Structure 1
Amino acid sequence: MIRPIVRSQNASHPLKRKLDEDSANHAVAKRQHVSTAQGVESEPLKKPSTLKRRRDNEAEVFAPSKQARTAPPPSILQLPNELLHEIIGYVPIEGLKAFTQTSSLFKEIAAPRYFVEADFEVPRPGAFWLSVCSGDCEALLLWRRTQAFSLPENIFFHMMSATDRELLVLDIFFQSLPRLRDISTSINLSCLGASFSSRVVASLLESIKGAGCPELTYSGNPLSQLSHVSIPRNLPHPAIPSRIKSLTVRSSILFAAPVIPFMFATLFHSPLTELILTDTHMSESQWTRLLRELHFSQL
């Protein structure tokens, strides 16, 4: 007996299922399109391709790390001192001067070479004397800042064509000396030429006195006849007591107006035991007035 084939109500024709799926996909796409048009952004998930991931990995391998990018470059100070001395030997004098201003280490390494190039003879500790010429002023200031600095017993300054700049450098040198104690250095300062001012000389002499030097000798070109010597009244006591015991002056510039305060403060407030004044170009009446004002208890 042949039974008729009855199809289930849930079963559907394959063609019909295909049409239903296409219709559903079209509806979803339409809803996404409408949502985007209304301002709702869609964020589909996209996975990077295998090629892009490989390229990113290679970039990370060859790119410098953040620590390497921020690390400072290697310093020349990391080299051995023996090699630094060899390098300094090839540097010209202007470069040596710049090296001495870079760091304490370079200052100590480059300074001896700079002194040789500048023809400045550094005295040994405890030396009896040191001679300083016009071209030695900057080398003298550098020597003051080195660990090998040691004051000799006497310093002779021979400024054959002195300038304001050179005397200002000497002024800075003596201003740094009060930090030392028990200074017993005698200063002999000879300033020749007409390229410096008496105001700079006055400042330099004040610094020499403030450094505590016990002996001072100054000589220089005589000025023209002094028309007037003004003796200041009621000179205040200096903040730093003068230690000058021996004063020798062989120039009339110390009686010029800018230098008079130093001169008379030294005469009135110093423990002088020796005083020599020559080549002052002072008249007899001026000498008479000056000696009337001076009273030396130890001369």
Structure 2
Amino acid sequence: MTIVRAALKNIWTRDSSILFGGFLLTIFLIVYIWWPLAEEYLGYVDWNGAWWRYMDWLLLGIFAFMSVTIIARANIKTDLLIIFVGICGGLAIESWGTQTNLWHYYTNERPPLWIIPAWPIASLSIDRITRVLNLLITKGLKYTNGVKKISNVVNFKTLYWITSASFLSLMLVFVFPTIDKSLTWFALILCILLILTPTDHRFAFITFIAGSGLGYYLEVWGTTRECWTYYTHQTPPLFAVLAHGMAAVAFWRAGLMLKMFWGRFGFSKPQQFSVK
């Protein structure tokens, strides 16, 4: 019990309760406002029989994982910025994809507003995953006589450029059918600018991996349940999985820019993650 309390004390902050309460409130509002959708899903469950066979355990697992990660070391001052960027970025991405018919939702909304809150929630979760990965990499590369430069052990700059070039190639192939759309051109130009102007190769690469990792499970759930469908009908397409990684990098960079310009309003200055 003492170990559990110590662990909770390390991850649970004063702001964790606020953030978790807001998370549950968001879920409640989504279910309440779009109750017909929830009612349709619950209608498939045989509550008088083996109801557990009808439960979406993948969705529940994702929900549980995100619940744990978003409350870990919560800081409302910085998390509000992540939420804001996630909402704006998610709305932009969903608008681009649904308006150009790269993907569509089963409700035929372009985009559905009920999917937008998923973006800031995922952004918070990715932020926690990235911080843990960054910490593990730092500790894993320490030596007994001090800290050795990571660049001497792992060339994150090379990994960054290989990953970015691969993603951009996949993106060009995937979005080519909509190359005549202005929104697609804007998305391409934005991704190219982000790739060519990295501020921290290591942290950008870790963020990309964290976003892609979480994105895989989100995409598997969404496409196999036909909540959303891509024009390729893949479940899911590789590009869609990696796009979550690029979106995570874009949101992180946007957050740094907002901190830089709006620091006077209470946001902390951007911090670069580095190991000497």
TM-score grouping bracket, smaller chain normalisation: under 0.3
The TM-score normalised by the length of structure 2 is 0.21
Bigger radius of gyration: 1
| Structure that is richer in helix per residue | 2
